[in-house]
Structure formats: C-alpha cells, structure tokens
C-alpha cells in the first residue's frame, strides 16, 4: 500500500499513484528573499510579501469579490512576520501556506518524525481543541521531492476540516507547508488530490551556496 495525497486530504490509505492535474494551468511563485519556487493553479489567489498590499487595496475597493478583507488583513501580519505565502482555491475549499526558518542544523527525517511532529500535533491540539490524528509522522514523496508529514482532522468554527503539515529540509532551512481542506466545500476529491500532488512535486529549494 502506498501513502498518497488521498491520505493527506481525505484520511484514506489507497494504492494509487500520483496523477497530474489534467488541463489545469499553473503559475510559478518565486520567493523574493529566500528564492524557493513552487507552482500553483492559475485561478487560485496567492498572497505574499510581494503582493499583499495590492491585494488588500483592491479588496477594500471591492475589486476582489469573495475576499474577506478582515481575514486578509490578519494574514498580512503572518505574511510580514514569517515571509509566508498563502494560496487559496477560488471556492475557498482548499488553501495552503508555506513559511521557512533557519533552525541552525540539518535535521534528518527521523529527527523530524521523532521530535518535531509530536510538537506540532500538540500545538495544533492546543489551537483547535480535539484533533483526530491520521498520520503522526511519516515520509512522503512527490515527484523528486521528499517530505516528512503529519495529517489530522478537526472541527474549527463549525467547519469540518482536514489538515496536513509537510516539512522539507534544505541545509539548515526548514520549509513548512500547511494544507487545509474544508470538507463541506469539496465536490471532487480526485481533482484536489491531483492538484495537491502537482503543487507539492513542483517545489524547488534554492541552491545551497
């Protein structure tokens, strides 16, 4: 049995292989400070340090229907503090964010599984209340990229959600990817599965100097 994105997004264990998102157009985001790159669907909304001021300005003028300006203002604080990027589907059913930090040493997958994963699950439990753990730390490969990940479910503000966090080391820099799915809004898990796999496989860390 092979762990795939269906586990990350739907808390299932399926023996299927990664598939590309047929017909989906992708854009490439490159972080101006760190230099990492990742692809995302062209019809999704991306907010980062590079464009958050413009997004907020347009949202306040009513030029971006469906964008919650108060929520986006809250995201701005995280974006500015952590150089985070946030990307959301048009129907808000799925979103993901990425931030990075220098942890001072090159952590192995085993160390991340043994030390970091329990800490992050504890933090999520403190933040969300009761969580349902589907994966408490394992290795997952998307294309040529290998991550350590956790997956869990919760109820937040009345919404049933599934979340995963994935961790990628590049030298002493750790990249944290957080995916959130709102189950009531998802109509096609296979499509989300394919999109998520393609996004994760597209990640390119900057070359180590």
**Which CATH number belongs to the domain containing residue 23 in this structure?**
3.40.1000.10
Other Cβ atoms within 10 Å of 91 Cβ, number: 11
Q: Is residue 29 part of a domain?
A: yes
**31: CB partners within 8 A, 6+ apart:** 37, 48, 83, 85, 100
pLDDT at 5 > cutoff 80: no
- What sign has the CA pseudo-torsion 42, 181, 17, 2? positive
The reported pLDDT for the residue numbered 184 is: 87
Report yes or no on 67 lying in a domain: no
Q: What is the pLDDT averaged over residues 82-105?
A: 92
206 inside domain: no
Note whether residue 74 is domain-resident.
Answer: no
DSSP assignment letter at 60: H
Confidence label for 23 from pLDDT (cuts 50, 70 and 90): low
Residue 66: the pLDDT is 65
Over pLDDT 70: what percentage of the chain?
Answer: 88
Pairing type for strands 145-156 and 37-41 reads unpaired
Structural domain boundaries enclosing 132 = 5-48+83-201
CB atoms under 10 Å from CB of 177, counted, come to: 19
Checking if the pLDDT of 82 tops 70, the result is yes
Q: Are strands 94-102 and 173-182 parallel, antiparallel or unpaired?
A: antiparallel
Whether residue 76 is contained in a domain is answered as: no
Q: CB 120: neighbour CB atoms within 10 A?
A: 19
Interval 117-164: pLDDT, tens: 999 999 999 999 999 999 999 999 998 999 999 999 999 888 899 999
What band does 92 get if pLDDT is binned at 50, 70 and 90? confident
Q: Does residue 47 register a pLDDT over 60?
A: yes
Residue 54 forms part of a structural domain:
no
Q: What tens digit of pLDDT does each residue of 163-195 get?
A: 999 999 999 999 999 999 998 888 777 788 788
User: CA 35, CA 24: separation in Å to the nearest integer?
Assistant: 24
Q: How many domains does the chain have?
A: 1
Asked whether the predicted pLDDT for residue 31 surpasses 80, the reply is yes
Query: In this structure, is residue 73 part of a structural domain?
Result: no
pLDDT at 57: 86
* Angstrom distances, CA of residue 30 to CA of 39, 49, 196: 9, 11, 18
| CA 44/CA 60 separation, integer angstroms | 19
Using the predicted structure, report yes or no on whether residue 102 has a pLDDT greater than 60.
yes
In a domain, 68, yes or no: no
Residue 16's CB: how many other CB atoms inside 10 A? 13
Is the pLDDT reported for residue 4 higher than 50? Answer: no
Nearest-CA neighbor of 137 among 161, 119, 156? 119
């Amino acid at each position: 049995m092979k762990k795939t994105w269906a586990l990350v997004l739907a808390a299932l264990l399926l023996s299927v292989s990664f598939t590309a998102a047929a017909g989906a157009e992708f854009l490439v985001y490159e972080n101006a400070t760190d230099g990492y790159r990742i692809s995302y669907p062209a019809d999704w909304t991306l907010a980062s340090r590079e464009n958050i001021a413009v997004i907020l300005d347009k949202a306040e003028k009513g030029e971006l229907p469906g964008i919650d300006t108060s929520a986006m203002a809250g995201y701005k604080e995280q974006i500015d503090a952590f150089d985070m990027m946030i990307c959301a589907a048009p129907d808000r059913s799925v979103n993901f964010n990425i931030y990075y930090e220098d942890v001072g040493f090159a952590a192995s997958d085993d160390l991340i599984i043994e030390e970091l994963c329990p800490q992050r699950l504890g933090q999520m439990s403190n933040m969300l209340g009761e969580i349902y753990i589907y994966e408490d730390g394992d290795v997952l490969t998307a294309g040529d990229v290998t991550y350590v990940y956790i997956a869990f479910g919760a109820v937040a503000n009345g919404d049933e959600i599934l979340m995963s966090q994935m961790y990628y080391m590049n030298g002493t820099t750790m990249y944290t990817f957080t995916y959130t799915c709102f189950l009531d809004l998802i109509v096609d898990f296979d499509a989300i599965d394919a999109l998520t796999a393609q996004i994760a496989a597209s990640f390119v860390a900057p070359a180590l100097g």
